[in-house]
Amino acid sequence: MEKTLTICYKEFGSVAELEPADRELMERAVEATRSAYAPYSHFGVGAALRLADGSVVCGSNQENAAYPSGLCAERTAVFAASSQRPELRDYAALAVAGRDAEGELCEASPCGACRQVLLEYERLQGHPLRVLCLLGGGRVREVASVEDLLPFGFDM
């Protein structure tokens, strides 16, 4: 039997069009691109995670001369939140932004490994974690759930 999967998402023309809390979250992600340690790719990524109590934990990509030892911004943020606030492993939204080698803001979308990690926390908390990605031209894409980014994700 053939089945079809449909993914719904929203697109905003600019960060200014977001709800105030999401706008602040995206601004925090943009700010976090500045703390990227990316001497190899010269591509900075910033991530800002909003916890259930409204607080925000940020992360940026951290590279290493032994390339696979580095870590993406999204996992840096969510692992920081989960380890520093284990009692509040409940996440409302994640914003992600990129900064290219010229220092210009650009699109950044979570890689497959980050999607798998985010999916586990989403399933653990039992309600959706929204993901906002900065796109080219300052637009923003929002998916309502990590499931939308990684259908059929792995679980045990």
The single residue of 2, 11, 74, 122 carrying the catalytic annotation is 74
Contact between residue 133 and residue 26 where contact means Cβ atoms under 8 Å apart:
no
- Supply the minimum distance, in Å, between the C-beta of residue 113 and ligand THU: 8
**Gap between the Cα atoms of 46 and 95, Å rounded:** 8
One residue of 18, 25, 61, 105 binding ligand THU per CB under 6 A: 61
* Catalytic site includes residue 17: no
φ, ψ of residue 130 in degrees (nearest 5): -75, 145
Which amino acid, one-letter code, is at 90?
D
Among residue numbers 20 through 59, which ones bind ligand THU (CB under 6 A)?
38, 41, 43, 45
Residue 63 contacts ligand THU per CB under 6 A: yes
Q: Active-site residue numbers?
A: 74
Binding site for ligand THU (CB under 6 A): 38, 41, 43, 45, 61, 63, 70, 72-74, 110-111, 114
